[in-house]
Structure 1
Amino acid sequence: VPRLSDAAASRGDADRVLAAMARGRWAADVASLADVRAEVLLSEVLAYLGGQPRIRDPRLTALTEHDAEHGGILVPAVLAWLDAFGDVRAAARVLNIHPNTVRYRVRRATEVSGVDFDDPAQRILTQLQLRL
């Protein structure tokens, strides 16, 4: 940093980067905030949402509870499918299962929760809340 007064903020950024690297899929030993900005910001958004139970969708809470009681297979499938932008084959590769199994689990998650995955707002809310 150019001035000593900026050192505390720089240390805070370094801590944010290290935390993101520890949580994420970062393979390198060194990174800058620019390298992991998305992971840092997402983790901060999730931390904020974690402290705000009023802004959670009860349908997704019901889905996670149902999933916990029945083997925990729906939520990972939905998250992998959302991460893959609806590409069933890509999600299946990540989960190491058959694409039809992904289709079934996403369909079952829709039945259990009532979430409409054709609605972009519901998709992003689902992705954020299930990451909590």
Structure 2
Amino acid sequence: MLRKWVRRRRARFMVGVTGVVRDGAGRVLLLKHRFWPEGRQWGLPSGYANKGETFEETFAREVREETGLEVRVRRIAHVKSGFQMRMEVAYEAEPVGGTMRVNSFEILEAGWFDPDDLPDDIQPEHRLLVSHGGRV
């Protein structure tokens, strides 16, 4: 009985995972997300962790689903508590294979950008991750 009550009352968190994918030339992979707010649609590959998945696996899966690219996740870059019951984790990664093909259901465009020449309507938090070498 106590266990059931604790399980119901325990906080449940959503974990958002994102990351900075840099190619060999130092360019950053950015996506124009279909369902993000107008004027802030450009950002890093992002998604939510599934039950039983490591956050590194989440990030690699999200990049693969959104772009067709395979990445090697290098290191954790940032962790913070998010809005309400959400945690946000960011990684640094590099492409290791695959062919760029966007998932048109979620993504409008994808491209490699010089860190000094990012789109104006990039998510502010993502601009910080890019400009601080993945660290905020």
TM range (shorter): under 0.3
Question: TM-score w.r.t. structure 1 length?
Answer: 0.23
* Structure with greater helix share of residues: 1
Question: TM-score w.r.t. structure 2 length?
Answer: 0.23
Structure number with greater CO (CA < 8 Å, separation at least 6) is 2
Structure of higher CA gyration radius: 1
